[in-house]
Structure 1
Amino acid sequence: MEDRLVAVLGGRQGSGVLLTPELVLTSAHLFEAGDAVDVAAPDGDGPVPCDVAWLGDPDTCDVALLVARRPVLPLLLAPPLRWGKCAGWQPMPRCQVLGFPQVHRYGPLPGELEAAQIPGTLMPLSGRMRGRYVLHADHHPPAPVTDGSPWAGLSGGPVFAGPLLIGIASGDPLGWQHSSIESVPLAAVIDDPGFRKALLEHWPDPPEFEEISSAYPEDLAYEPAYARAVKAAYSRLEIFGLDELGPGDWDLDTAYFSLEAQSPSPPEPARPDAPELRRIEDFLGSRPRTVLRGEAGAGKTTLVWWLASHTACRMLPDQLSELDGLIPFVIPMRSLAARGITSPIPSQLPKIARLPVDRPPDGWAGRVLEAGRGLLLVDGMDEVPQADRELARKWLAGLLRMYPRTRCLVTVRPLAVGSEWLEQEGFEELRLLPMSDEDIQSFAGSWHRAARLECDRHADEHWAQRQRDRLDKLEPELSQEFERNTVLRDLARTPLLCAVICALHRQWNGLLPKTRWDLYSAALNLMLARRDAHRRILRPEGVELTADESRQLLQRIAVWLVRNGRAELSREQAVRQLDLALRGLRRVRAQGTAHVVLTYLLNRSGLLQERSPDSIQFIHRTFQDYLAAKEFQESDCLDELLLHAAEEQWQDVLRLAVGHCSRSEEQRLIAGLTAAADAAPDRETEWPLRALAAHCALNAKYIEDDQYEQVWAGLKRLLPARDQRELLSLGQDVLAAVQR
């Protein structure tokens, strides 16, 4: 701020602020027609002649724009200029005006200029009728002088709220005994067509205005650091975490893929109020509060990360301009559940995501929400244990009632909460749709572009070029395979599985798995067995595990998470589960303790990650559910699965379990689901059980005709679906079979 202060020497002495090294903003009433004007900076090399580029009316718009004939200062080390405007009428303490007033002189001769810094409280309402800001000085006002105001010479000085330039000092109102200083709001000046034209001629890219309702300097200084931390944390999305399977992570600026979404309405497609299909960004801009439903791997978390990083850095597309510049608070619900936090207060919001940034100023998050500048991104409400979801709803509803101008997006799996769950708080429902055939092709193109960018980062240019050439050959081959292979297209309907297919196609030189279970199994095998072998890394961390040994260990962690309704666990809990697993793995036990094995799995498996010092999770819940399903099958605990079949958090595990089962186990699982559906007390309980049974019947490797017909007869008794939610809850495979 102080680096931009200059003295203006015209018909009268005044003050000004450097917008650029040659562009000066000051007061219009300092000049008469034909006056020569110079400006001088405290650290400059003397007065610099200026030309008047624009002169406002002193009575209505007391601002002038000067163009120096050479740079006044280089401003190389000065922070970028930020403009602000008041967003409310509450007094704003800790503002200040800078300048060279008459009351502040030094030296043996009168007239030796000295800079002054006058702190005060801005009173936005006090000058409203005259289009002025009024600053009440914090210190005792200066003594009167005989020939005018003691503040003479301050006119044209910049008025700052924290680091934001908000006005230009213009006068000393009568009757306040020099305790107040008036200024012209910069936001009002920019609306003058003449001023704007002159400004853009000399400065094509002036800063955008930032709304401000609090002038706490520490808030405004902290927010750029917070935005950088959000960008650093959420601008790249990890994909598996190893380059042999695919790119290590994706730059979301390059690889973000816009998905199609649906606004709910009755299921009959022929009706004029049929579901509206648009890209998700087209919906979110006009919906202050949204519950976004999507299947596992549908891209919910990717969207949250993209919104967070682009909102903080003001990089959103035009259709989301209403979110641009808001302060995002990412709230991963799995982290809250793991840490035992049920009702975070505003001061906890910046800390939940554990960003690489210093502690915020006291009360900052509350002030952001109070001003309507917050964007809550609540990710994975389904990862809260079912018994705690009502408590989570009450927390979120209470927070939004306290701060009603806060925008909010909640992501959740399709059946985790009812359609009316947040309806009273003004939330609207959206659903991420399976990718269309065209989307699959576009996503595969994005994946290969991201992979080429990863090649560019490799130190060996010859290796990188070979990989790029290989990707250039594989991409059209995969595109043709998607065109002719309907089974493969159906597997690729979510971004997660489409990415896995792209990665496996690259790794296997064009070969591809045939079923969803083959796909998961191949991905796990690559991550657990072939990663270090490909890189010729032997016994990392002093441990050498086969793929099956790693899988057995990971299954124990996965099944513990499912049984406890959790998505994260602590190191201590993970070690305890590995200790139990090691009792039957003598070869692994001989290589090290459970602590050593956990370190190996975190560093080498690519499936576990530690996103905070004591919080371990799977890279994606789909892999957690797949491994848990395998453990239930191998440990002969299918009855336990059936016992929980009516619980939403267990149903994805059940869907995956059928792919692991033997012939007799398939029959037993499907019979158990059918019996549970027959005994259901109401339609709400029966419907998801019938849908589960139908899914298992469709995907069973072997099923007798009579059992198959029994499953479909039970579902057909409930058709047609009563609403969109029931219809979509059938899942892609069953829905396609019903519609045939």
Structure 2
Amino acid sequence: MAVLGARQGSGVLLTPELVLTSAHLFEPGDGVEVAAPGGYGPVPCDVAWSGDPDACDVALLVARRPVLPLRLAPLRGLPPPLRWGKCAGWQPMPRCQVLGFPQVQRYGPGELEAAQIPGTLMPLSGRMRGRYVLHADHHPPAPVPDGSPWAGLSGGPVFAGPLLIGIASGDPLGWQHSSIESVPLTAVIDDPGFRKALLEHWPDPPEFEEISSAYPEDLAYEPAYAKAVKAAYSRLEIFGLDELSSGDWDLDTAYLSLEAQSSSAARPGTPEPRGRIEDLLGSRPRTVLRGEAGAGKTTLVWWLASHAVCRTLPAQLAELDGLIPFVVPMRSLAARGITSPTPSQLPKIARLPVDRPPDGWAGRVLDAGRGLLLVDGMDEIPQADRELARKWLAGLLRMYPRTRCLVTVRPLAVGSDWLEQEGFEELRLLPLGDEDIQSFTGAWHRAARLECDRYADEYWAKRQRKRLDALEQELDREFRRNDVLRDLARTPLLCAVICALHRQRNGFLPETRWDLYSAALNLMLASRDIHRRIHQPEGIELTADEGRQLLQRIALWLVRNGRAELTRAQAVGRLEDALRGLRRVRAQGTAHAVLTHLLNRSGLLQERSPDAIQFVHRTFQDYLAAKELQESDSLDELLRHAAEEQWQDVLRLAVGHCSRSEEQRLIAGLTATADKAPDRETEWPLRALAAHCALNARYIEDEQYKQVWKGLRRLLPARNERELHALGWDVVAALH
């Protein structure tokens, strides 16, 4: 902007009322005004601070009203904040620039015009005098008789790429007007008077970022990356809505602020801090977030990514606002054979719909402390690979120590001290409370009502909205009345399943977790196309049982291989095995055609990126794998893996599939394996699994039941949080 004092100069707007310029443009008592292109015209200013023109030629002005109207930026209602930089090296830095209103750019008396002067910053040239020197790229302007042709440029901002690094101050003699000097921003901030005045009017100025070269292509790329992140992570499939209609849903419509608890060491006798996840994350630069299957970990990661890049996070997470998110789904790494991704691979792992970034961009983002690393699903890689993943993450964060990082994982996948040396604090997501269940149910039904807006028949849309209102009230009453149902709804996933089944069945609901999953699969595999009045899409028609048989083979292969994702070729191989016994399906098409049908119609498989297939949720994978193991008489295989964390959720789900004799055999096998365990660390999860199976068995004799609990009680009490997590809330409740 132009600064109008005793002399005309230039300046840069820091906030809507705060201007940085040169001190030599006015004397004490002078009136000062500023004007910006597209602004409200000259705005009177007060001088908040002025330095010595010979030493620190900078002044801070406070406008008496906003200088510019608020412009709507593409991703938010405010323009992006300035970023401050300092030179970290002595090599020349090309592609820098200074902006202002010099005399050489005028087109008539009193007619100012902005100039953009590109050049190369020479960090050593003015070092003895505490100045930066910019050598202009173009031919210098012709001399003028009454001073410098650059007159009027003083106070203009000097940028290295997107970083403001200095304030133009002079035209040194002897260089024939080819050089422009500036006061480094770091020199100004060191002055106590300036800093006091700045903080008085701007309590939260940006941190300095080190820069050794300017990359204007970064500035051009980042809006495209932000747009791709927003497109990829601001929409989500809400279970129970996408199978009855089409499309996905705005994440904010169904996002629920989850409750979490800190696992940090607290004073003896004091409860661990707990609160909403946004409140707890804001003060923790590095966090391991533990949560059960379906607890909302991935939804939280997506929500953070889409809002951070758009600078729309709530005040509690202000420190994350504007950071560049790198989402690292660990299942994708495992499927692609990547063990230690480099910074340059981080923007590509999620396969966002955006062009290739400039070379070295991700490293520069991390080096500047502008990165937000979101590592999702550390439990979704084989247990043997987790130590390698820890070393990769630790090394990356040591290389870029200012990087904010969130790692999500299931409760027992890694030890409590897994990333402790790297400064990580632990949080664990808590089960949904009664009020959270009510809030989630309300959000689910709000999203369902939105689909009514798509109906062409307004009378039909009105009827459906009225029906959804009634269903929501009825389900709320059922949750208040039925303790068993309320306990089933303690995770967002299962709460969504209950909402969907309640809607589809007009108020009738299953009574156990396994009945819920079974009904949900029937809803997805059999009812989906019926509700949409779709008959034989792609020329293939599957019954619910046929679809389940096919998906079970894929699920078991993933579990056996410690994977959460597979390629098309691998999926086709599993389906070819299954089709040998499914003659009716085999007659309708090849394994390739059946896979396409499952991806398009089942709602349970998805291809989030080319050649990377996964279940919509890991819980369905484990449920179907457990069913396949039970049907193929492979319970012994399940027992052999009972001590492995990745198999334990499968085992918990298997008991619900078993016959009476299989239940007895499974529980006896767990008890026998626990009896032979070499140490407490191995024995504890086996006893906990046996107790869980005993609680959920449909038939168990008293003697076996007592034996299970006797073995567990012998180890009580739990010695640490990991042991407590292994029990699960149902076993803990039974112990009380």
Does TM, normalized by the shorter one, top 0.5? yes
Give the 5 Å matches for 1:644-655: 644-655=641-652
1:436-455 correspondence to structure 2 within 5 Å: 436-455=433-452
CA distance in 2, matches of 1:655, 1:341: 30
Determine which of 504, 507, 532 is the counterpart of 1:507: 504
Letter in 1 for 2:117: I
Asked if the contact 2:33/2:45 (under 8 Å) is kept, the reply is no
Q: 1:536 to 1:69 in 2, by over 3 A?
A: closer
Name the Cα RMSD after superposition.
4.1
Quote the Cα distance in structure 2 between the aligned partners of 1:75 and 1:175.
Answer: 45
8 A contact 1:38–1:48 mirrored in 2: no
Alignment equivalent of 2:524, drawn from 507, 523, 527: 527
Partner of 1:203: none
Specify the alignment match of 1:716 in structure 2: 713
Q: Find out whether 1:180 has 2:169 as its counterpart.
A: no
Residue 348 of structure 2, aligned match among 351, 360, 379: 351
Q: What does residue range 548-627 of structure 1 map to in structure 2 within 5 Å?
A: 548-627=545-624
In structure 2, the partner of 1:408 is: 405
1:278 aligns with 2:272: no
Shift of residue 388, structure 1, vs aligned partner: 1.0
Q: What is the letter of the counterpart of residue 476 of structure 1?
A: Q
Determine whether 1:323 maps to 2:320. yes
- The SS at the match of 2:559 is helix
Counterparts in 2 of 1:292-691, with a 5 A limit? Answer: 292-691=289-688
Match of 1:94 in 2: 95
Equivalent residue letter for 2:687? R
Question: Which of 116-125 and 369-378 deviates more?
Answer: 116-125
- CA distance, structure 2, for counterparts of residue 596 and residue 504 of structure 1: 29
Within a 5 Å distance, the mapping from 1:34-45 to structure 2 comes to none
Decide whether the 8 Å contact of 1:608 with 1:619 is kept in 2.
yes
Post-superposition Cα deviations, 1:360-402, rounded to whole Å, max 9, x if no partner, equal 1110111111111111111000001111111111111111111
CA gap of 1:13–1:737, structure 2 versus 1, over 3 A, is: closer
1:243 counterpart residue number: 242
User: Would you say how many aligned residue pairs link Structure 1 and Structure 2?
Assistant: 718
Structure-2 change in CA distance of 1:123 and 1:732 (3 Å) = farther
Matched residues in 2 for 1:568 and 1:467: separation? 37
Q: Deviations over 1:381-426 (max 9, x none)?
A: 0001111111111111111111111111111111111112111111
Partner amino acid, structure 1, of 2:82: G
SS in structure 1 of the partner of residue 150 of structure 2: coil
Question: Secondary structure, in 3 states, of the residue corresponding to 2:564?
Answer: coil
1:152 aligned onto 2:151: yes
In structure 2, the CA distance between the partners of 1:167 and 1:68, relative to structure 1 (3 Å rule), is farther
- What is the TM-score of this pair, normalised by structure 2? 0.87
SS of residue matched to 1:513: coil
Q: Distance in 1 between matches of 2:720 and 2:67?
A: 71
User: How many angstroms does 1:87 deviate by?
Assistant: 4.1
Runs of 5+ unmatched residues, structure 1: 201-205
Cα pair 2:5 2:30 within 8 Å, conserved: no
CA distance in 2 between partners of 1:660 and 1:602 (Å): 25
**How far did residue 534 of structure 1 move?**
1.2
Deviations 1:214-272 (A, max 9, x none): 441111222222122111111122224753558954423232211121222689xx952
Match of 1:252 in 2: 251
Contact 2:258 2:276 in 1 (8 A): yes
Aligned with 1:669: secondary structure?
helix
Residues 348-371 of structure 1, C-alpha deviations (whole Å, 9 max, x = no match) = 001101111111111011111111
* Runs of 5+ consecutive residues of structure 2 not aligned to the other structure: none
Quick one: structure 1 residues 24 and 710, their matched pair in 2 at CA, closer, same or farther if it must change by over 3 Å?
A: closer
Equivalent in 76, 79, 82 of residue 84 of structure 1: 82
Q: 1:443 and 1:246, CA in 2 relative to 1: closer, same or farther beyond 3 A?
A: farther
Report the Cα distance in structure 2 between the residues aligned to 1:735 and 1:249, rounded to whole angstroms. 38
Of 328-337 and 114-123, more deviation after overlay is shown by 114-123
**Does structure 1 conserve the Cα–Cα contact (< 8 Å) formed by 2:331 and 2:564?**
yes
The structural deviation recorded for 1:678 is 1.0
Change (3 A) 1:129 1:704: farther
> Structure 1: which amino acid aligns with 2:651?
L
Q: How far apart are the structure 2 equivalents of 1:619 and 1:71?
A: 47
Query: Alpha-carbon deviation of 1:503?
Result: 1.3
When residues 193 and 412 of structure 1 are mapped into structure 2, their CA distance, relative to the original with a 3 A threshold, is closer
The answer to whether the Cα contact below 8 Å between 1:63 and 1:184 also exists between their aligned partners in 2 is no
Aligned-partner SS, 2:118: strand
Deviates more, 1:446-455 or 1:673-682: 446-455
For residues 16 and 268 of structure 2, what CA distance do their matches in structure 1 show?
62
* Mapped partners of 2:380, 2:559: distance in 1: 10
1:51-90 alignment, distance < 5 Å: 52-54=44-46, 57=50, 59=53, 61-62=58-59, 82-90=80-88
- Of all paired residues, the percent bearing the same amino acid is 77
